[in-house]
Every structure is written in structure tokens, then in C-alpha cells.
Structure 1
Amino acid sequence: MYIAALACAWIADPINCSPFGRMQGIFSVAGEISCLNAATRIRPVADSTVPVPGNIAALFWLRRSGRLRLPCRDLLAPAIALAQHGFTPNSALVTAVQDSSSKMSDDLRTIYLDESCTVRSFVRNPALSELLQVLAVSESEDEFWRILRTRDPGPWRPGETLDNPVSQVVPRTLNLIDGGGRAQRLLTTGNQETWGTWTLLGAAIAVELRNSGALDDFARAMEAYVLSTILLLDRIPFAVGSLQPKVSRPSVEVDIASEAETIARRVVGLLDVSVKELWSELGKTYFAGPGSHTDDANTNAFAIASGDDFLSFTTSIGPWFGSKRSWWGAALGHSYAMKSGAFFEGQTHDVTEMSPLILETAGCPQLAIGAAGSERILGALTYLLFLRFGFGLGGDMANLISMPRLFPKDGAIRIHPDFCHATRTHLEDRGFTLSPTGYQYERHMGIVNLVERLDSRKYRSAADPSGSGGAL
């Protein structure tokens, strides 16, 4: 189900994902819980911004492991037809093409723009259809790359291998108690290429704040969330938005419990200081500084359930249309690490911003959830976890993602215009600048997709009101 949907997204959502991008995910299938990590591998070539893809390697790994029950030609048939026959671009794609057209290579511009440089009302991509047909019949990853490069060498050196080993690892977990007193377990990808560890830390901070009694008032609780998010993003060993490492050897091997206690204690202290003292402390973080501005590029998140099996995967090619170059009608991935020229000791893979999650209740998967939007991925997911495990709101998670949100970004608080007036006033009184943000794709606070099991027979799915995604 995921591969079929992903391949269609390569066609219809080319701004955020491509066969030449990367993949991170967590799954619970047939009782097995694991993570699949397929980051883009860094090429040992000076000034290169085109890494070796992870998506293709992951697909062949899934084939070899026996997890794809249908032949690839059947899984890819809908995407092949979509690329051949074409589709009407949605508003999100139109926006991204208009925003990126001046930087796009000529072949990408030809696909999406007509002779008058207007976004096409109907998009076809026969080259990408041919790529998918090759992918459908190739017996191995080596055969796939050999066929493509025989027809078109691409941006790699003649003898350069495109092997990219993926890894399957045990998820990182966090035990939680929800507002109804139920024991739950949050699972995510705890590796260097995702926000996973930091999302768990955000949930743990929410619990610490709840236990401290600091969240009894809603407006004060929202300030606590804002402060905890700023301190959490400041704690991560990569600069917000740029993914430039702050230290020579960044790591996700942290003690979540002690880190959560430390940050929650700082938040509680800041809630009670004067406005002057508050901003004196915030001035020491990334948030109030000139380097806080980041882009609005996205990834694509998939959440799927079938019976007892749950899957949450994310994929990305970096900023919109990746490196703005293409090969076989698909955008080539773009490495943030190579773009910045900042490497850390022992680095072999690109660093990305993804955080697929699964939530278990009584040992059974209940929720698969993920988000898109650079550092807003972390913000969107930690906000929902804050509402559930910090503030104690019950109900379906599908209802929670439809509630107005807020997120500290670019030195201000992005906030939905229908957020409660008392909270808006409270935050302004505390010196924060509010940046009203509508439910729009161009400027959002993270785009969430989820599927949730309500009981043994009922499921519910939801797509973020700011995105163009769908829920079935």
C-alpha cells in the first residue's frame, strides 16, 4: 500500500518527493516492529549537492525481505498510468512551481510550464513513466541503475557506484500515561537522520510540565509549550532549519528522562519571571537571534493501517524540487549537509528532518502519524502530543489536528487566527510577537497525516487542514 501510494506521489507531489530522495519509517507488521532508515548517502565529491538516493535502495530492500506481496509491476501500475496520462496539478504544486521556476533546470521547467511560462493545467511526465517501468521489471538495484545510466549517464561519474545500504533498527520508545490514565508507548526512528529522539523528548517534557502543575491554565500552558519548543530546538545539536552541526560529533544518544526534567524545570522558572527577564533568557537562544529565519519547504508523510498492521513513513528531496535539477523527469535529491558545506566527524549520510511515529495502547498499535514542514514537523507533532499527554485532552487525534495551533518560528509565534483570544493576549503581554497564519500551504505550522484505530473494528484517518493531502 505504501509503495503504491509513494510511487504516485513521485508523480503528483514532485515538489516534496522523488524516486531520487530519501525515506525514513517505522512499521508494525505481523507483530514485528522495526524502523527502515534509507537516508541519502553522501558522495565523496567536492561541492556536490546530488547525493546517492535512499528511496530506490529501500524499495529493493523491501522486495528482498519479502514484505512486498505483489509484483512491483502491479504496485507501480497506477503511478505509471498517472505519469503517462497526466493529472491536473493542485494548488500546492502550482504554488511551488511558481516559487521555484526561476531556479529549475530547463527539463523540469518543460514538464511543468508551458510556452508562456505559465504552470500547465495538465501535467504529463513520460520520462518518469519510463523510469517506473524500468523499476517494475528490474530484478536488482544494480540492474535498475545500469539500465538507466546506459540510456542517460546522469550526474554521476562513469564508474561511480550508486549502492546505498539501508538499515533496519529497533525503534526508540517512550512510555506515557494519557489523560485517561491509560498506559501507552510512543515509538519512532531514533537515528541521526530524523527528529525522532527529539520528538520523544518533547512528549516527555509535556509530561514533566503536567506533573509540575504548570499547565492548569490554558493560556499559561500555551506559553509553556512555546518555551519548551524553543528550548528543545535550541538543545538539538543542529542549527534550526540549516541542519549545520553545532558540535563536531552530534548524537541522538541522550537520556530522555533527565533531559526532559531539566528543560521542564527551566520552563517552569521562565513562566514566573518578568517580561524583561524572560527575554533576557530567550536572547541567549536561537529564537531571538538574526539566524532564526528558515525556509518553508516540506516533506511528505504517509500513515497507513491495515488490520493490525500500522506504518508511518516520510520521504523528502530537501527544499521544493530538491536540487532543482532532474534526471528521467524526476527531481534529484539535495543534501542539506553538502549545501551548507558543514560536515561532522564520521558522517556518511545526509541529515534530514523527519519524524514518523507509532503509538501503542496495551501493546497494540493505535496510531500512525507523521508530518511535513522542516522544523515544523517537530512542532506539529510535539504540539499534538502536548495536548494529549501534557494538557490532558482526550478524544480522537483526528479531532486534535483540526484544532488551531501555534509554533515559534522566525522570531515570532505563528498562530492560527481562530486561536483563543485569551491566549493571544497572554502571549503578547509576555512580549511575543504574533504572526497570524491561515490554514494555507504556502505558510503553515506543519502538515500532519494520521490514521488511528478507535476500537477493534473502527478506524479513523485525517489530513491536516493546511495541506492538500487526503484521508481515506
Structure 2
Amino acid sequence: MLLLLLALPAQAQRQMVAAAHPLAAEAGLAVLRAGGNAVDAAVAIQAVLAVVEPQASGLGGGALLLHWDAGARKLSAWDGREAAPAAVPPTLFLRDGQPMGFYEAAVGGRAVGVPGAIRMLEAAHRNLGRLPWPQLFAPAIALAEQGFPITARLAAAIAGDAERLGRDPQARALFLPNGRPLVEGTVLRNPALAATLRAIADQGADALHRGPIAADIAAAVRGHPNAGYMTTDDLAGYEPRRREPVCAPYRIWTLCGVPPPTSGGIAVLQIMALLAHQDMASLDPRGEPSEVRAVDAAHLLGEAGRLAFADRNRYVADADQVPVPVRGLLDPTYLMLRAQLIDRDRAATPPRPGNPPWGGGAPLASQPPQPEHGTSHLSIVDAAGNALAMTTTIEDAFGARLMARGMLLNNELTDFSFLPELEGRPVANRVGPAKRPRSSMSPTIVFDAEGLPVAVLGSAGGMRIIGHVAQALVAMLDWGMEPQAAVALPRIGAANATLELEAGTAAAALAPALQARGFPVEVRAMTSGLHAIRILRGPEGVRLQGGADPRRDGVALGE
């Protein structure tokens, strides 16, 4: 079974947070105790994560947020995805007509998108928050000034990326003092980040998007040898979007996610709709790898994921700039036809994208596979019953390995297709001015038949987020697992046409049987970062169960 130390399940009755670092979770719970709500707690958690988990998210990145307002009984999606600068050319990631190598593109200013996380959180807080904005930044400011002991995970990330981090003077001074990577337990202080956080606390997101901090961000991007195109006008002009969530039925539940520019909401709903035609409850994955039901469970997760990725790669991009057939991709009849392509005995040849209704527009080329990494996720349920799922990112670990004012900048533009067209047809997710790159972030909330939330979850992990979230949903809804067990399961999921199995776990032992069924299989390390909360209602009232992915440093805390 999973060769990881499993955290004890978290239980609560009033409120709960699950986040990727104990200090971040503690800050969120403290906000709830002080009378704040889920949005207030999300602001505080994001600020602390910028300090203690700098390799995954922060002020220089973007985020997607799904929020349930219990009083108004309203679900809303908030888009703080990074945007391309206005001057980017479609050939941004081509050199001599060929795609650049990933790190050739990602390190430096070229791939930095206009950050959106703080603008989005400010907009959500203005509409939904309760506590004063400055109060929410106090824990992060204190940690940045006084320091915190770095975890083994952060120390390993610094050591593993020392060469690239060392190219940037600010990153080198912070993470590689005396030329050596920081080790576990070292107290890390970041006074420059504390000053930036204090400015945001005092002035709001304008402190980041206008004035001297914005000028330093633009100068860092444009002044790097691998220069980008960002200007202070790009930063000043960024606006978050409030979008209509995407929802679809799954058995007795309704699943909801965030629409494009992320592909995660659509893809997770597609996977679950395809699996709804299968008796997943009978396929307990906790059996021995030799058991047919364990192989069948992996088979179905893989095939549903491969079909969803085929559609994702063809159709999904920034719907503000590209027609995306969202309604068609989630149409029940279309998905029933796609489900009939699943053979229980044999893997399909690499699945092709379907022809969803209401597609329209010019034919598009499918995006070639390319890496996606990084990210963090937090889930919150407050005492009033509000629920929030937020996934936040700077894309790759340590983003662009480029710092300004104590914060790491993202390399989010590498989430665009490096090729603007293929075989004479445009790629939907090609680079474009002010366009938001396609994401895989999948913040998800599950509702019961009465329209009340019963689960709040999401994950880190690049394009593998989609499979991580879908597997966790099946584990909780079909296999009856508590959140902690669901997020700790050995990871099984599709990444484009390949079925991936988590190395060092019982899932890896399924490889021979799945290969015999025709799957292209890869056994690899999985750095999922699932954080889930289950809401149970009964005669005694509400009970909350939390789960934090043991692959990371996170915890679920509640009371």
C-alpha cells in the first residue's frame, strides 16, 4: 500500500481549514475564530503560503476560487488567472521556428504572466469578506519578518533547484546564502516580502499593480537576459473575472467547478460523467494488485481521463478570446456517446477528441503535450456554512526563478501551447495578448440533492490535478472513504494519453496487468497536494471531516 506516513483524520463540528502548510492552516483557523468567514481565511492563508511555501504559490502568481454563500445559497467562481502582457507575440516560445525547451522558456522574464491572485482575492473580499483587509495580513507579515523553520520538503526543493535559483541575485541571497542551499530547520526570514505584504495590507492590491512595486516587477521581467514583455500598464490594467461555475450531476450529487480558462472544471466533470455509467462502487481499489477489481478501477479511471484529456487538448482555452463549447462538452447525450467508447477489457488506441454539439467555429488543432507543475490548494468551511475551494499557483516550482520585492514571479505563460498552430490549424491555447493561459486547476464543491455542499476539495500537481481530484471524488462518493483516506490513496490517473501510476505504492504493481490491456503506462513519483473537507449532516447536527495530502506538509484543522 501507500508508502507514506498518513495523517490522522481531522474532525470538527463548526469550522475547518485544510491547507498545504501548518502555519497557513493555523492562520486561517485563527481568522475564523476571530469572526472571519471563509473568504477572510483564504486571504490570510494565501498570504502565509507566500511566505512558507514560496515554491508553489504567492503574491506573484494567480488563483481560481469557488465559493458557496450559505446565506444567499449562491455559488460563484472567481478567476484570478495570470494574463499575458499586451505585447506578447504568437511566437513567444519558438526559436528558429521550433518550440523552446521547457526550462529555456520558463526561467527568466519571458514566461512571466501578469499576476492575478491578490487582485482576485481583493475583489472577492470586497464582495464577501467580513474582517478588515489589513488584519488578514498580520500573520504573514510576522512570519516574513521573524522567520519560520523551513520544512524538509522546502529544503529539498531548494537543493534540487539550486542551479536555477542561483542565477537570480535575490533568490540566491534568500535561498542559497554563502552559496549553499538552506537545510531543514533553518529559520528563513524575508524582510523584503514583509514590506510588500505590509504595502498590500495598507493599500490593497494597487500596491502590487501600481506604483514602485509594479515598476520593479516590470523591470525584473524586461531586464532579465531571457526577457519578457510585461509593462506597468499590463499590471495596472489587470482585472479579475467573476464567472459562472460549471456543474453536472453525478449519481445523487451535483459536482461544480470553475469554467475556462481552466480545463479542470470541464475535465473533472467529464471524467465523472463517463464513470457514472460504470459500477464504480464494486471496484474497491484497496485490494491486492492481482485482484481484477483493482485493475478494473485503474482501467476505468485511466480511460475516462484519457477521453477527457483528448477533448481538453483540442477545445479548452481562454473562453474570453476563443470559442469554447462548454455546453457541448458537458452535454449528457454527448458524454453518453463518449462513455460507450470505454471497453472494460481493452484500452483504446490513443483517444481522439469528440465532436461536441454547439462546437461551431473554425477547426482547431490539438495541443501537443508539454509539462505542467507546481501549485497549492486550500479548502475551507466556516461556522456559517460557507464553503470555499481555492487553487493557487506560480506554475513550476519557484516559478520563473525570478524575484522582485521578496516575491517569486510566476512562469505561467508556459501553460500556453508553445506551437501557435499545427498542420496549418490554430491551437486554441496558443499565446495571445492579454490572454489567460489554460490551467488544470480544479477547485471543486459537491452538493447533495437538497443543494447543500457535502465536499470541498482540490489539488496541486499541474495537469495531473484533474486525475487527482477525480480519483478523490470517486473515493469519497463511491468507495465511502473519509477525506484523509481518499487523499492518501495511491495515485492513478491519465496524463494525456498515458496512464500514470504512483511509484512506491500498490498502484505501481498494477502496471503489468494494465500494459497487457494495451495501456501506455508510466510509473512515476506523484506530488499531488489534495486538501479535502467532507460535510456530514445528521440528527446530531453537522460534522466536518478533513484530509491533507501526506505527500506535502499540509494539515486539516478545525473545531
The reply to whether TM is greater than 0.5 is yes
Per-residue deviation at 1:16?
0.9
Aligned-pair Cα RMSD in Å: 3.4
Match of 1:372 among 450, 457, 460: 460
Aligned to 2:74: 32
- Return the match for 2:170 from 79, 91, 107: 107
1:234 is aligned to: 310
Q: Tell me, yes or no, if the aligned pair for 1:209 and 1:264 is still in contact at 8 Å.
A: no
Q: Which ranges in structure 1 are unaligned for 5 or more consecutive residues?
A: 178-182, 286-290, 438-442
Instruction: From 242, 251, 259, give the equivalent of 1:168.
Output: 242
- Structure 2 counterpart of 1:413, from 483, 500, 504: 500
Cα distance in 2 for residues equivalent to 1:466 and 1:143: 32
Deviation at 1:425, TM superposition (A): 5.1
Local SS of the residue matching 1:118: coil
Residue 123 (str. 1) matches residue 205 (str. 2): no
CA contact (8 A) 2:85 2:234 kept: no
Q: Are 1:336 and 2:414 an aligned pair? A: yes
Once residues 254 and 453 of structure 2 are traced to their aligned partners in structure 1, the CA distance between those partners, rounded to angstroms, is 9
The alignment status of 1:398 with 2:484, answered yes or no, reads: yes
Which letter does structure 1 place at the counterpart of 2:488? S
Instruction: Return the alpha-carbon distance in structure 2 between the equivalents of residues 106 and 386 of structure 1.
Output: 46
Q: Distance in 2 between matches of 1:107 and 1:238?
A: 39
Q: Percent identity?
A: 19
In structure 1, how many angstroms separate the alpha carbons of the residues matched to 2:283 and 2:54? 44
Name the amino acid aligned to 1:58: M
Give the Cα separation in 1 of the matches to 2:379 and 2:556: 9
Distance 1:248 1:33, change over 3 A: closer
For 1:355 and 1:386, the matched residues in 2 are separated by 15
Aligned partner (choices 199, 214, 232) of residue 134 of structure 1: 199
The two structures have a TM-score, normalised by structure 2, of 0.71
CA drift at 1:311: 0.3
How many angstroms apart in 2 are the aligned matches of 1:283 and 1:453?
Answer: 36
Query: 1:448 aligns to what?
Result: 530
Task: Measure the CA separation in 2 of the matches of 1:282 and 1:373.
Answer: 23
2:440 alignment partner in structure 1: 353
Residue 282 of structure 1 is aligned with which of 350, 355, 358? 350
Match of 1:314 in 2: 391
Letter of the structure 2 residue corresponding to residue 89 of structure 1? I
- 8 Å CA contact 1:21–1:54 kept in 2: the answer is yes
**Does the 8 Å CA contact 2:215/2:232 hold for their aligned counterparts?**
no
Q: How many residues matched?
A: 444
Look up the match of 2:547. Answer: 462
Contact 2:83 2:435 in 1 (8 A): yes
Measure how far apart 1:329 and its partner are.
Answer: 0.9
Distance in 2, Cα, partners of 1:239 & 1:467:
32
Cross-structure match for 2:120: 58
Q: Which whole-Å CA distance do the structure 1 matches of 2:129 and 2:178 have between them?
A: 42
Separation in structure 2 between the aligned mates of residue 99 and residue 239 of structure 1, nearest angstrom: 35
CA contact (8 A) 1:407 1:445 kept: no
- The question of whether the paired residues in 2 share the 8 Å contact of 1:41 and 1:348 is answered with yes
Aligned partners of 2:257 and 2:265 also within 8 Å: yes
Distance 2:342 2:281 in 1: 11
Hey, what's the Cα distance between the residues in 2 that align with 1:192 and 1:160?
19
Residue of structure 2 equivalent to 1:72: 133
Q: Deviations over 1:21-57 (max 9, x none)?
A: 1110101123331111111121122444222111121
| Structure 2 SS opposite 1:109 | helix
| TM-score, with structure 1 as normaliser | 0.83
Correspondence for 2:335 among 257, 260, 265: 260
Shift, 1:364, TM fit: 1.0
Q: In the TM superposition, what is the alpha-carbon distance from 1:249 to its structure 2 partner?
A: 5.3
Residues 232 and 355 of structure 1: CA distance in aligned 2, closer, same or farther (over 3 Å): same
Residue-by-residue CA offset, 1:119-158 (whole Å, 9 max, x unaligned): 2522111000000010111156268622524778634546
Contact 1:202 1:260 in 2 (8 A): no
Partners of 2:126 and 2:454 lie apart in 1 by 28
1:198 pairs with 256, 264, 267, which one?
A: 267
Deviation at 1:117, TM superposition (A): 1.9
| Alpha-carbon distance in structure 2 between the residues aligned to 1:408 and 1:153 | 37
One-letter code aligned to 2:64: Q
Contact 1:237 1:250 in 2 (8 A): no
Distance 1:422 1:377, change over 3 A: closer
Q: Alpha-carbon deviation of 1:323?
A: 1.3
d(CA) in 2 for partners of 1:430 and 1:318? 34
Residues 444/238 of structure 1: CA separation in 2 closer, same or farther (3 Å cut) = farther
Given residue 450 of structure 1, which amino acid in structure 2 is its aligned partner? Answer: A
**Structure 2 stretches lacking a partner, 5+ long:** 1-40, 93-109, 222-229, 285-291, 354-366, 421-429
Contact 1:17 1:316 in 2 (8 A): yes
Q: Which residue of 1 aligns with 2:147?
A: 86
> Amino acid of the residue matched to residue 170 of structure 1?
E
> Equivalent residues in 2 for 1:205-224 (5 A)?
205-210=274-279, 217-224=293-300
Aligned to 1:184: 253
Q: Which amino acid aligns with 2:297?
A: A
Structure 2 Cα separation of the partners of residues 431 and 336 of structure 1: 31
- Specify whether residues 428 and 108 from structure 1 end up closer, same or farther in structure 2 by C-alpha distance, changes over 3 A only: same
Residue 288 of structure 1 corresponds to which residue in structure 2? none
Q: What is the CA-CA distance between 1:72 and the residue it aligns to? A: 2.2
Shift of 1:340: 2.5
| Greater relative contact order structure (CA < 8 Å, 6+ sep) | 2
Give the AA of the match of 2:391: T
Is the CA contact 2:459–2:528 (under 8 Å) kept in the aligned structure 1?
yes
- From the superposition, tell whether residues 403 and 143 of structure 1 become closer, same or farther in structure 2 (CA, over 3 Å): closer
Moved more, 298-307 or 96-105: 96-105
Q: Per-residue deviation at 1:431?
A: 4.7
1:319-354 CA deviation, whole Å, 9 max, x = no partner? Answer: 111111111111112222568364267862222220
Distance 1:142 1:115, change over 3 A: closer
**Deviation string, structure 1 residues 187-217 (Cα, Å, up to 9, x no partner):** 1112223411111111101102339999994
SS in 1 for 2:236: coil
User: Could you say what secondary structure the match of 1:208 adopts?
Assistant: coil
CA spacing shift, 1:337–1:251, aligned 2, 3 Å: farther
